[in-house]
Amino acid sequence: MISLSLKKIALITNGTLYGADLLINEIVIDTKKIIPGCLFIALIGRKFDAHIFIHDALKKKCAAFVTQKNIKPHVPYIIVENTSIALGQIAGWVRKKTKAKILAITGSCGKTSVKEMTASILRKNGNTISTIDNLNNNIGVPMTLLQLKQEHKYGVIELGASKPGEIAYTSNISQPDIILINNIHCAHLQGFKSLLGVSKAKSEIFSGLKPNSTVIINLDSHHFSQWKKDIKNSNILFFSIKKKKYSNFFCSNIKIHIHGTSFTMHTPCGKINISLPFLGYQNISNALAASAFSFALKIPLKKIKIGLLDTPIVSKRLESIILEPNKILIDDTYNSNVSSMISAIKVLERMPGYKILVTGDMAELGENSMMYHQMIGNTANSSAINKIFSIGDMSSEITKIFNNGKHFLNKKKLSEYLKNVFLKKKKITILVKGSRSTKMEKVVEDLIKESKKKC
């Protein structure tokens, strides 16, 4: 982080400093991560109040802390009205002080995947920070920005939201130079109500837009006409999987393999052959987005190609695991919504052998949740999938509609049954998916254990 005095922090946060001034090089919000000399900010969340950990933080030698309660310790402290807002104010100040180009990503699906691909490319060209894991909310975004130092050239920041207002807040702190709305799909409908609500919430990202910044638009999934007036002073880059009227980035020669994809990418500065270690069309789309980001920063195509190839596999997102010869497990248990489920079905139907989809519920789909699950059953019926196993109240709607489905009431029974099919079939691909709350990774773990027993 860029060093800051306590006096300056008090000024930035409209707080009052008690005790001596000090220089701070590190800000921590989790007592497990305290390092001597850091500033501890006591946040109040929905489930916790970190003010109770202040004594713990002092024992671990934090040098000072920010509080919204009047606790009188033996180290300097700053009292503010709201510690979460104070965290955002400090991060916003740090962001303004750096020369780093900040890229902000929002959208319904693929934010983390695009973030990893983009950061992998940019790291080939200069010091880069990026969102760690999926820390994309009003706390995660400021914590990411606080990593910025003067030597950083790029910051790739993921902005997530489950209700209106969240992205406006994190975008204003991030002040992005380049913005991407990766796509608009039916996700978090409980908070956004409708697809239009999703589009409006995602477009809040434009409230942090600076004049002459660049906006990247996915022509395969957008609400461009609604956004036009917000981005009229921006440079716009368009991408789509296949060539469309305005596409600046698109693909030809797409080949899907069991371990990834290859294609020719067409860009404003020529075309190049790309190999991606990721499954599915959605990752080709993500790669186009990452390439548009990099192009906007004048990264040469050759570096884009290497960066994409070097992107580490993003765990639990269509992660392909060969359990035995001819027996593939695809772990897509990180999350699920209508769009990523349809994408997963499209991936599975191109895989070899007997094809089984194992699914938990798609959560947070609001009042039409049942209809969306039935829709997946219908989509699966017109696909090449052989069998679906479901678990969870809503997922039973998928197997009720699918021609060859079986519903389970607990994971133990599901894993047992799945194991038997897995052992019996000579050539098989099993894709496991479900929303985060359904913890479908347990099914993946059981199957991996079973296969290791055999070896």
Ligand X SMILES: Nc1ncnc2c1ncn2[C@@H]1O[C@H](COP(=O)(O)OP(=O)(O)OP(=O)(O)O)[C@@H](O)[C@H]1O
Residues 56-75 that bind ligand X (CB under 6 A): none
68 binds, among ligand X, Mg ion, none (CB under 5 to 8 A by kind): none
Q: Is position 112 an interface residue for Mg ion (rule: CB under 5 A)?
A: yes
Q: Are 209 and 230 in contact (CB under 8 A)?
A: yes
> Binding residue per annotation — 128?
no
Q: Are 288 and 219 in contact (CB under 8 A)?
A: no
Of the candidate spans 62-70, 90-98, 238-246, 330-338, the one that interacts with ligand X by CB under 6 A turns out to be 330-338
> H helices within 310-383, ranges in order?
338-348, 369-381
Handedness of CA 56, 58, 60, 62 (dihedral sign): positive
Residue whose tokens read 């139907």: 349
Q: Is position 311 an interface residue for ligand X (rule: CB under 6 A)?
A: no
Q: Is position 134 an interface residue for Mg ion (rule: CB under 5 A)?
A: yes
Q: What is the distance between the alpha carbons of residues 398 and 372, in angstroms, rounded to a whole number?
A: 9
Number of H helices, E strands in the chain: 16, 22
Q: Is position 138 an interface residue for ligand X (rule: CB under 6 A)?
A: no
110, two tokens? 């693929």
Q: Is position 167 an interface residue for ligand X (rule: CB under 6 A)?
A: no
Residues 83, 203, 248, 340: which binds ligand X (CB under 6 A)?
A: 340
Report how many residues bind Mg ion under the rule CB under 5 A: 3
Q: Which residues contact 81 (CB under 8 A, 6 or more apart)?
A: 14, 15, 68
Q: Is position 112 an interface residue for ligand X (rule: CB under 6 A)?
A: yes
Task: Give the residue with the Cβ less far from ligand X, 44 or 135.
Answer: 135
212, two tokens? 């002459």
For the CB of residue 167, give the shortest distance to Mg ion in the complex, in Å: 13
Q: Which residues contact 103 (CB under 8 A, 6 or more apart)?
A: 118, 154, 155, 156, 157, 176, 177, 178, 179, 180, 293
Q: Is position 317 an interface residue for Mg ion (rule: CB under 5 A)?
A: no
131 binds, among ligand X, Mg ion, none (CB under 5 to 8 A by kind): none
For the CB of residue 107, give the shortest distance to ligand X in the complex, in Å: 6
Residues 76, 160, 405, 434: which binds ligand X (CB under 6 A)?
A: 160
285 binds, among ligand X, Mg ion, none (CB under 5 to 8 A by kind): ligand X
Q: What is the distance between the alpha carbons of residues 215 and 201, in angstroms, rounded to a whole number?
A: 16
**How many other CB atoms are there within 10 angstroms of residue 344's CB atom?**
24
CA distances to 120, 177, 224, 397 from 210, rounded to whole Å, are 25, 7, 19, 46
CA distances to 4, 141, 223 from 34, rounded to whole Å, are 17, 19, 44
Residues 273-292 that bind ligand X (CB under 6 A): 282, 285-286
Of the candidate spans 167-175, 248-256, 331-339, 370-378, the one that interacts with ligand X by CB under 6 A turns out to be 331-339
Q: Is position 131 an interface residue for ligand X (rule: CB under 6 A)?
A: no
- DSSP class per residue in 187-201: -SHHHH-SHHHHHHH
Q: Is position 267 an interface residue for ligand X (rule: CB under 6 A)?
A: no
Residues 138, 203, 335, 369: which binds ligand X (CB under 6 A)?
A: 335
Q: Is position 307 an interface residue for ligand X (rule: CB under 6 A)?
A: no
> Binding residue per annotation — 327?
no
Residues 113, 248, 261, 320: which binds ligand X (CB under 6 A)?
A: 113
Binding-site sequence positions? 107-113
Which residues would be at the binding site for ligand X (CB under 6 A)? 109-113, 134, 136, 160, 182-183, 282, 285-286, 317-318, 332, 334-335, 339-340, 343
Binding-site sequence positions for ATP? 107-113
